[in-house]
Amino acid sequence: MAWKSAAFGPFPPGGLQALTPHVTAYYTEAYPCSNAAIVRGTDATLVFDATLLSQARALRHAVDAAPPPLRELVISHSHNDHAHGAMYFTPPARAWASRFARDRLAYWATRDLAPFAEEMRALNPELAAEYAEVRIVVPEQVVEGQAVIELGGGVRVALYSEALAHTAGDLWARVEPDGVVLCGDLWFNGHEPYLGNGSAAGSLTALRHLRESGGSVFLPGHGPAGQIAADPDEPMGRYCRWVMERTSEGLARGLSGESLRVAVRAEFIAQRDRPGGIRFIAEWPSFLEDAVEATEEEQRSTPH
């Protein structure tokens, strides 16, 4: 839905956009609007992030429409809009994830997924109705630090793991020789970022790592591919710093919990329409409140 906004430009046919000779971006048009990528070498094809349900089936269809065969699936993190479509790729693909994401998926593999269907119902009832068929894939390939996957013909995907940022364990990838960086939800472009399961400070560190990778083009977890602007202008980085600053200031004034979240929301609304204010083409209800809650917890537990 957000992609249809004129500010993002026209939605590409089938959601597919060739970024470089070996990398194609896959965008999903409906909520939750998560992105994936197809990387093709001469021997094997890799999928970075699975999306979910009918969006994942359409991605698998696109993967199988050209050689070489699917062999690898990288799951950037355990959130459902990136991980719950894994069943459409694995098998045959080997699935890769961080230890944290693997453990989260192992937890959900044995539990009722009704809470996910419920959450989806308000924003995309069609996907919610399909949720009963989800089988969670628990990745067997755990990445700690770095890993490299060779796809043949000199095409290789280097994987890097981050500490607490978007979640407590996200992977990102750099595809060679193309220089494409696949960011997962460590970077949101034009979409308000979700920090509620992670850390604003950690997200700034991850953004720096992405930027310093020197990629030629960056695919975010949500929003169109592009460049990560330099500090201090990059909107997600500005948002992270702003949330940290307003949370810290609110705590210093004696606010906490609900009163802090209400105050920061009011401040966000007040600043967003001012010239140069922080705003996103796609903003989501409660993302800011969740970010403030996580930041409050982090600032209370970190000695200043």
The footprint of Zn ion (CB under 5 A) covers 79, 185
Q: Which helix (H) or strand (E) holds 23?
A: strand 23-27
Distances (CA, A) of 20 to 15, 39, 45, 155, 181: 16, 10, 15, 12, 11
What's the CA gap between 134 and 111, in Å, rounded? 11
Nearer to Zn ion, 66 or 106 (CB): 106
For strand 35-40 and strand 45-48, is the pairing parallel, antiparallel, or unpaired? antiparallel
Closest contact distance (angstroms) between CB of 82 and Zn ion is: 6
- CA dihedral over 180, 146, 33, 230, signed as positive or negative: negative
Nearer to Zn ion, 185 or 298 (CB): 185
Closest contact distance (angstroms) between CB of 256 and Zn ion is: 26
Closest contact distance (angstroms) between CB of 142 and Zn ion is: 19
Closest contact distance (angstroms) between CB of 166 and Zn ion is: 6
Closest contact distance (angstroms) between CB of 7 and Zn ion is: 22
Query: Closest by alpha carbon to 52, among 81, 19, 23?
Result: 81
Closest contact distance (angstroms) between CB of 68 and Zn ion is: 29
What's the CA gap between 19 and 227, in Å, rounded? 12
For residue 2, the SS3 value is helix
Question: What is the DSSP code string of 269-298?
Answer: HHHHTSTT----SB--TTHHHHHHHHHHHH
Nearer to Zn ion, 228 or 260 (CB): 228
